[in-house]
Amino acid sequence: MTRRIRILDTTLRDGEQSPGINLNVREKLEIAEQLARLEVDVIEAGFPVSSPGDFEAVKGIAKNVKGPVICALARADRNDIDWAWESIMFSERPRIHTFISTSELHMKHQLKKTPNQVLEMARDAVAYARKYVENVEFSCMDATRSDPEYLYKICQAAIKAGASVINIPDTVGYALPVEFAELLKNIKEHVDMGDATLSVHCHNDLGLAVANSIAALGAGVDQVECAINGLGERAGNCSLEEVVMVINTRKASLQLATGINTKEIFQASRLVSMLTGYNVQPNKAVVGENAFAHESGIHQDGVLKDRTTYEIMKPQDIGLMEGELYLGKHSGRHALKTKLEEMGFYLDDKGLERAFIRFKELADKKKEVAIKDLEAIALDEIRTLEELFQLEYMQSSSGSGAIPIAAIRLSKEGKGYDATATGDGQVDAVCKAIAKASKIPAKLVSYTVSAITHGLDAMGDVTIKLQIEGHEVVGRGVSPDIIEASARAYVNAINRAIQKGILEKKRLKQKAHK
């Protein structure tokens, strides 16, 4: 009989812990809405005690996103749990997820607690969370390097205190599939699970996160924690699209199924990539650009005769539809709004007006405006934070033998900020001018540019990583003009630094030293 596996998506919590990612409340909400369309069972929306922004985002998701269980993370600490509850209390289906380290290594060196103290903290945290909500998940951090006997004991204590989900994380991505499956079988044997669900959370340090999750499912686990595009701490988490498509494609052998609407996978992957600035590698399984591309003559010949010769999944299964054209230059505001809403983008009046102007400019330049162009414009609007810096105007020039020069105007809360600068190239000049106008010094860590669609008239998609006050921030911008896309990406990155409070922290530090 086919067993139904629950999918917990942690893109907005563990995924958001990837270096350089700092999504704002609006962006997190946008991703959560897409996760709901994907029909994940649980959205782990964030770690509310970690920052006011995270708290607000989890609260916004709990209030607005219907369908999945909305889960908030908390350490095994009453204050963390209070914050977690405050953030998810308006959800129709709230869950508190509390965790503590259980390996000797972590307990001794990080927590500086004895195993008995940790056991007590776990018991107290679960019982405390249960006062707020029935659905409580407990995780044993670094479980795969923990003493199994101790694991059984703490899992049993958590269940007794009221945990409804017991999660076994391979926190450092150390496990091998065979030994991980063995550990889970032993847990099922030694722990009286009652009605509690057994879950796994695998990291990808050795590239085994998906293999370990599948092995765990074979051992009888019922929930898999994963993230879109495999985002997460260090090498990331188990990739949602991969684990789901393994289950789908090998249904007959595995006798497993998920509730995921796989047709929303590609859109979820693109949305997360565009908003986080983490590009998907071309050869990434399932969602990479080459996942359904066939290069060699023999393969092309086979696919032309029958796609199944070299394709084990259909592109349509993940919602990939090629070559679909959207609007033309005569389309009006209403048509744009309707199309964007069909794609799941709901812009406010100001955002829609800006998107419309950009759409018209693009339609004038290009013969056809593709779905990806519209999506890129909409996402650029979602990234825009009204109250922070906006790029009002830019001009740049260069030529052989001439020094590249740029003039820009930024605006913030109705005030204009102008600057000009020269640089080693036009992009360098424009970035320097923005740094001057905003008075935010930053070091460029990396710069990548790619095309949204094919052809010489394609929109440029620029991702910039900056270092500001020792913190890395990623910005992204799109435009048919690469220099303008670069300026937008740079402004987006400095806005993220402001939003993250990086500059505020510096000011406070300077004040304290005076």
Enumerate binding residues for Zn ion (CB under 5 A). Answer: 14
488 touches, from ligand KIV, Zn ion, none (C-beta below 5 to 8 Å by class): none
319 touches, from Zn ion, ligand KIV, none (C-beta below 5 to 8 Å by class): none
How many angstroms separate the first and last alpha carbons of the chain?
70
Quick one: 13 or 28, whose CB is closer to ligand KIV? 13
Assign residue 233 a region (left: φ > 0; alpha: ψ between -120 and 50; beta: otherwise). Answer: beta
Quick one: 171 or 438, whose CB is closer to ligand KIV? 171
Residues that bind ligand KIV (CB under 6 A): 14, 99, 139, 141, 167, 169, 171, 201, 203
- 475 touches 277 (CB < 8 A): yes
DSSP string, 197-263: EEEEEEB-TTS-HHHHHHHHHHTT--EEEEBGGG--STT-B-BHHHHHHHHHHTHHHH-EEE---GG
By beta-carbon distance, which residue lies closest to Zn ion? 14
Count Cβ atoms within 10 A of the Cβ of residue 217 and give its class: 0-12 exposed, 13-18 middle, 19 or more buried. buried
438 touches, from ligand KIV, Zn ion, none (C-beta below 5 to 8 Å by class): none
E strand segments, 69-125 = 69-75, 94-101
248 touches, from Zn ion, ligand KIV, none (C-beta below 5 to 8 Å by class): none
141 touches, from ligand KIV, Zn ion, none (C-beta below 5 to 8 Å by class): ligand KIV
| Minimum separation from the CB atom of position 170 to Zn ion (A) | 9
Quick one: 167 or 213, whose CB is closer to ligand KIV? 167
Quick one: 98 or 262, whose CB is closer to ligand KIV? 98
| Minimum separation from the CB atom of position 268 to Zn ion (A) | 19
| Minimum separation from the CB atom of position 501 to ligand KIV (A) | 23
- 96 touches 85 (CB < 8 A): yes
Q: How many CA atoms lie within 13 A of 486 on its CB side?
A: 24
SS3 234: coil
99 touches, from Zn ion, ligand KIV, none (C-beta below 5 to 8 Å by class): ligand KIV
Quick one: 169 or 351, whose CB is closer to ligand KIV? 169
Quick one: 203 or 270, whose CB is closer to ligand KIV? 203
| Minimum separation from the CB atom of position 142 to ligand KIV (A) | 7
426 touches, from Zn ion, ligand KIV, none (C-beta below 5 to 8 Å by class): none
| Minimum separation from the CB atom of position 289 to ligand KIV (A) | 29
| Minimum separation from the CB atom of position 225 to ligand KIV (A) | 7
SS3 10: coil
Quick one: 9 or 14, whose CB is closer to Zn ion? 14
| Minimum separation from the CB atom of position 134 to ligand KIV (A) | 20
Quick one: 238 or 434, whose CB is closer to ligand KIV? 238
| Minimum separation from the CB atom of position 399 to ligand KIV (A) | 52
Quick one: 212 or 248, whose CB is closer to Zn ion? 212
Retrieve residue 341's tokens: 């809403």
In Å, how far are 130, 133, 139, 366, 382 from 351, measured between CA atoms?
Answer: 42, 38, 41, 22, 8
Centre a 10 Å sphere on the Cβ of residue 92 and count the other Cβ atoms it contains.
Answer: 12
| Minimum separation from the CB atom of position 494 to ligand KIV (A) | 30
Residue among 513, 467, 457 at smallest CA distance from 493: 467
Give the H/E segment covering residue 417.
strand 415-422
- 427 touches 444 (CB < 8 A): no
Cα–Cα distance between 226 and 242 in angstroms, integer? 9
